[in-house]
Chain A
């Protein structure tokens, strides 16, 4: 578990929180990241892993009007992405397009495709429909869930439906179910809520306080991973959501984000405020072990922590698997350092 410096680093100018895999870029392994600076001019960096995989190149640098709290790349157009930004006292969300030809000019301005301006409170995140074709978007603030239809050619976004979760549940984030496109999981103060987009109604919930992040397992239906502030990582089977299927210890301090690998269903990455990225192996068989006594199960269980990358100077908030090369992930610590690592040595033998 040595914090080996095998990763490829890249420094952003300012502090940053979010990084996203550019899924639509089929030819390169690229990531988008945006800075978080109250007072300086914020930037969006398009990073590309060189073909040899040894270098991380800045493919484009675009200025962004406000500090970026959330960033998501469009799954079908590599030039489009969404951000959630803050002007200090108010929040906004927008969909941007990288100008063409990008990468030529050093600091070209981003084209605003649409402004998702149906919110008043603090916006948490923008989710792209995971199907990869649909032009649907969800934006979430603390009280509301808004479903958008984006028309990138007309440069407009239209509110399809909007639903308030109620004052008491302050939503903090979410994930769109890749197996059931009508279902979205949203984290709130006291629970994980599941929304049906057709009716815009809450259909189910897992009572769990202070969940910071959730992610669906792309390979295994019904499996959801959640990260808590205090009690680490929980793996849920949505069909029997009373008790987690498995618990992972998480981080020494808060576990900020979790991501399931898009290809290897057992691999889970988590980042935490203890300045570490942990790679977990959540074996599929543990699902069946629930009937055994806890003593037995804990005895049988091998250490699920495959590796801990600790070569960070500050809390790590950003995390993204590459969908093109699923053994590669990018992590982003608060001090603006992007680190690309490969988990190849830990891949399960097939």
Chain B
């Protein structure tokens, strides 16, 4: 507005101001715009004082300006006058026209009331007339409505009367759906009036419905009908309030019964597997059991599919059925693999089961059959792996125990060797077979096996680990070393095997352990590395899988333990012999020696047996005369350097001949090199024999030390030992040690002798020769007898 106001000419502006001041009751507002410069010289201001203005003018301006001002003022006044005149005129005009209008209005309103009255009258009459028409038509209308209702009723009655026929027609055309719809439509009426007016009708239609129900039921049960049709039938039956549940139960029961037929019975399983195989070979289309089974399962799953659609609410039961079947399958599988089963057979059965599961899973994906069966399959496969290993273990121990060894056979027919070879073979062959089997497992591409691959590898590795561990334990148990605890716990080991095992077998076991350590385990670890590696990453964080190093250590320890055990049992036997020898006679009252005592023969005989056994089983070692190293920690050297005290004593009492001799032996010992008695046993024939001899001689020495001898007793010992010298040296690796030990025995005897006078060498010689001759004769006799 302000911008527009600017160009507005002075005149117009003032006009407006004036008008506004005229109309506006409050001058302050109207003049706010123009009276900014309100002062004395502003004519337009309300506070304009003409006299003052004049005085100011006169004072300020000269004449000319005053004149000019006058002229100007006069013109303005004139202008104002005309403006006012114009204003008045215009306003007057308007007033006149207004008065005219009012005058006209006044004349127009006059006479309107009469028209209004007329209108009211007319409307009143219209209303009364319409009322009249209404009342006159009312009756007719009611009548019409009544008629209409009656007609509907009649139509319904008609429908009900027609119902039986209609139903019949439907039955004929098999449109059971319509029939049921009709019947249900008629139901309310039939229910109310069925006993009175429509009795016949009702009976007829019920009969018809009966037929329909029957038809529907047969339809439902008939397998030839399409599932859709059967489902519809079921729905219709349900609509007809027929107890469908009992039907369902009946059907499902039938299904359940059919489960039995679907079982793979353990006894049939092998048949299944075999025949499957043969028919595959022949490529014939015969109905072999596997095929039959497959068809049966297919039928079963089809039926399930059908029932599922027919009875949507029966899902749970079907799930249960399917699960039961799966579980049953795996249970049977479990029974089946309790017997010895090859991997191929196992897989074949497994495949069949898996196919069944897949079939059922297609029908009932919600039953989570695959999960269930995956779990069961895991368990089964794991069991299978474990069983395979236990079979192998059984095999090996059977091989070992198969040979009924008695003393003679062992020595004469090299049975030990046979056993060793057989069990070696069993071990190697067994592991090879196992690998083959497991490779089959891994190669299997059934879905579940692919998923389980890692797990299987883990199981196999673990299985091997456990297998070797338990094999080691088994060895120890077989050897009779750790039988005691086990016997108490489970009575697993029969008394026979643990009680009295042939000593030779212990040796075989020892050697077998070496074989396992050196051959079997490396091979197994190679195989595992080659085809069963990996897979243990997720499944076996906690339990380590196959650790060949540890197993090697275990078997190494076992082999040493067993070898030691062998030596122990052997020396024990000899020890008993020696004990008897030394406990029985009264050595203080011994008679003069006349011949070499026969315990020496028995001793040598035992050693000979050891030698024979060892020869069969152990390898020959590189021959070494002396062994001064290799002593294991807890063993020690036994040399006797007599201490000074001893020497003092000896020198002091040097009177007797025997004393001096004793002293000499002591002195000799002093200068002899320390001879190791208890060296580490090695897996060689010589080492074992030597160790046995050493231990026995040490025992001999100890027994001697416990006795007191008279002269003859001492001489007897001297004679026996002298006789032993030659044959022992023949059999033994470490001559020095044997010499030393034999000397020790004599020293011990002399120390424990009341009256040491050794036999003269000629007499010794004579007695020994006599003994040799006698034993030769004996041998000859034996030979002649045997030949």
Tell me the complex Cα distance, A240–B473, Å.
24
Indicate whether B766 reaches chain A with its CB closer than 8 angstroms. Answer: no
Q: Would A254 and B484 count as touching, CB distance under 8 A?
A: no
Chain B residues lying within 8 Å of A14, measured Cβ to Cβ, are: 645-646, 649
Q: Among B579, B640, B695, which residue has its beta carbon within 8 angstroms of that of A253?
A: B695
Q: Would A295 and B473 count as touching, CB distance under 8 A?
A: yes
Chain A residues lying within 8 Å of B635, measured Cβ to Cβ, are: 252, 274, 276
Tell me the complex Cα distance, A12–B642, Å.
12
Indicate whether B470 reaches chain A with its CB closer than 8 angstroms. Answer: yes
Tell me the complex Cα distance, A275–B470, Å.
36
Q: Would A88 and B708 count as touching, CB distance under 8 A?
A: yes
Chain B residues lying within 8 Å of A284, measured Cβ to Cβ, are: none
Tell me the complex Cα distance, A86–B707, Å.
11
Chain B residues lying within 8 Å of A242, measured Cβ to Cβ, are: 488
Closest to B484 in A: A243
Count chain B CB atoms within 10 A of each CB in A243, A253, A273, A315 and give the residue with the most.
Answer: A253
Contact with B along A11-26 (1 / 0, CB 8 A): 1111100000000000
Contact with B along A213-244 (1 / 0, CB 8 A): 00000000000000001110000000000111
Tell me the complex Cα distance, A310–B648, Å.
26
Tell me the complex Cα distance, A251–B484, Å.
21
Indicate whether A198 reaches chain B with its CB closer than 8 angstroms. Answer: no
Q: Would B678 and A253 count as touching, CB distance under 8 A?
A: yes
Q: Would A274 and B643 count as touching, CB distance under 8 A?
A: no
Q: Would A1 and B634 count as touching, CB distance under 8 A?
A: yes
Contact with B along A45-75 (1 / 0, CB 8 A): 0000000000000000000000000000000
Closest to B679 in A: A252
Tell me the complex Cα distance, A131–B647, Å.
43
Q: Among B588, B633, B642, B646, which residue has its beta carbon within 8 angstroms of that of A308?
A: B633
Contact with A along B574-589 (1 / 0, CB 8 A): 0100010001000011
Least Cβ–Cβ distance between B212 and chain A, in angstroms: 73
- Which residues B713-756 have CB closer than 8 A to chain A? 751-754
Least Cβ–Cβ distance between B444 and chain A, in angstroms: 32
Tell me the complex Cα distance, A89–B590, Å.
12
Q: Among A170, A253, A336, which residue has its beta carbon within 8 angstroms of that of B646?
A: A336
Q: Which secondary structure dominates where chain B touches chain A? A: helix
Chain A residues lying within 8 Å of B634, measured Cβ to Cβ, are: 1, 251-252, 274, 276, 278, 305, 308, 310
Q: Would B645 and A336 count as touching, CB distance under 8 A?
A: yes
Tell me the complex Cα distance, A310–B645, Å.
21
Chain B residues lying within 8 Å of A244, measured Cβ to Cβ, are: 484
Tell me the complex Cα distance, A203–B637, Å.
43
- Which residues B625-644 have CB closer than 8 A to chain A? 633-644
- Which residues B361-394 have CB closer than 8 A to chain A? none
Q: Would A89 and B708 count as touching, CB distance under 8 A?
A: yes
Q: Among B636, B641, B649, which residue has its beta carbon within 8 angstroms of that of A40?
A: B649
Q: Would B699 and A253 count as touching, CB distance under 8 A?
A: yes
Q: Would A275 and B638 count as touching, CB distance under 8 A?
A: yes
Indicate whether B217 reaches chain A with its CB closer than 8 angstroms. Answer: no
Indicate whether A259 reaches chain B with its CB closer than 8 angstroms. Answer: no
Q: Among B473, B572, B708, which residue has its beta carbon within 8 angstroms of that of A294?
A: B473
Chain B residues lying within 8 Å of A15, measured Cβ to Cβ, are: 751
Q: Would B698 and A314 count as touching, CB distance under 8 A?
A: no
Q: Among B486, B702, B752, which residue has its beta carbon within 8 angstroms of that of A315?
A: B702
Indicate whether A293 reaches chain B with its CB closer than 8 angstroms. Answer: yes
Q: Among A38, A210, A308, which residue has its beta carbon within 8 angstroms of that of B751?
A: A38
* Interface size bracket, A side: 35 or more
Tell me the complex Cα distance, A18–B583, Å.
22
Q: Among B470, B640, B753, B754, which residue has its beta carbon within 8 angstroms of that of A314?
A: B640
Closest to A39 in B: B754
Chain A residues lying within 8 Å of B636, measured Cβ to Cβ, are: 3, 252, 274-276, 308, 310, 312
* Interface size bracket, B side: 35 or more
Closest to B473 in A: A295
Least Cβ–Cβ distance between A266 and chain B, in angstroms: 19
Indicate whether A141 reaches chain B with its CB closer than 8 angstroms. Answer: no
Tell me the complex Cα distance, A334–B702, Å.
11
Tell me the complex Cα distance, A13–B476, Å.
47
Indicate whether B571 reaches chain A with its CB closer than 8 angstroms. Answer: yes
Q: Would B588 and A13 count as touching, CB distance under 8 A?
A: no
Indicate whether B482 reaches chain A with its CB closer than 8 angstroms. Answer: yes
Chain A residues lying within 8 Å of B572, measured Cβ to Cβ, are: 229-230
Tell me the complex Cα distance, A210–B484, Å.
18
Chain B residues lying within 8 Å of A294, measured Cβ to Cβ, are: 473, 476-477, 482, 485-486
Indicate whether B597 reaches chain A with its CB closer than 8 angstroms. Answer: no
Answer whether A274 and B638 are a contact pair too, CB < 8 Å, given A13-B645, A308-B633. yes
Q: Among A38, A39, A295, which residue has its beta carbon within 8 angstroms of that of B472?
A: A295
Least Cβ–Cβ distance between A15 and chain B, in angstroms: 7
Q: Would A254 and B645 count as touching, CB distance under 8 A?
A: no
Chain A residues lying within 8 Å of B484, measured Cβ to Cβ, are: 243-244
Q: Would B753 and A38 count as touching, CB distance under 8 A?
A: yes
Q: Would A88 and B588 count as touching, CB distance under 8 A?
A: yes
Indicate whether B556 reaches chain A with its CB closer than 8 angstroms. Answer: no
Chain B residues lying within 8 Å of A305, measured Cβ to Cβ, are: 634
Closest to A311 in B: B636
Least Cβ–Cβ distance between A84 and chain B, in angstroms: 13
Indicate whether A105 reaches chain B with its CB closer than 8 angstroms. Answer: no
Q: Would A295 and B469 count as touching, CB distance under 8 A?
A: yes
Indicate whether A117 reaches chain B with its CB closer than 8 angstroms. Answer: no
Answer whether A337 and B473 are a contact pair too, CB < 8 Å, given A243-B488, A294-B482. no
Chain A residues lying within 8 Å of B265, measured Cβ to Cβ, are: none
Q: Would A313 and B640 count as touching, CB distance under 8 A?
A: yes
Indicate whether B568 reaches chain A with its CB closer than 8 angstroms. Answer: yes
Answer whether A252 and B633 are a contact pair too, CB < 8 Å, given A15-B751, A230-B571. no
Contact with A along B201-222 (1 / 0, CB 8 A): 0000000000000000000000
Contact with B along A311-340 (1 / 0, CB 8 A): 011110000000000000000001111000
Closest to B698 in A: A253
Chain A residues lying within 8 Å of B469, measured Cβ to Cβ, are: 295
Tell me the complex Cα distance, A3–B634, Å.
9
Q: Would A86 and B708 count as touching, CB distance under 8 A?
A: yes
Tell me the complex Cα distance, A278–B643, Å.
23
Indicate whether B705 reaches chain A with its CB closer than 8 angstroms. Answer: yes
Q: Would B646 and A229 count as touching, CB distance under 8 A?
A: no
Closest to A12 in B: B645
Chain B residues lying within 8 Å of A273, measured Cβ to Cβ, are: 698, 702
Tell me the complex Cα distance, A244–B678, Å.
27
Q: Would B643 and A243 count as touching, CB distance under 8 A?
A: no
Least Cβ–Cβ distance between B712 and chain A, in angstroms: 14
Chain B residues lying within 8 Å of A337, measured Cβ to Cβ, are: 643
A sample of 11 inter-chain contacts (CB < 8 A) reads A1-B634, A3-B636, A14-B649, A15-B751, A88-B754, A231-B568, A244-B484, A254-B702, A294-B473, A305-B634, A312-B636
Known contacts A1-B633, A88-B588, A335-B642, then 9 further A-B pairs from the complex at CB < 8 Å, ordered by chain A residue:
A11-B643, A38-B708, A38-B753, A40-B649, A89-B589, A89-B708, A243-B485, A314-B638, A334-B705
Task: Give 4 nearest A-B pairs by CB, closest first.
Answer: A310-B636, A89-B588, A252-B678, A1-B633
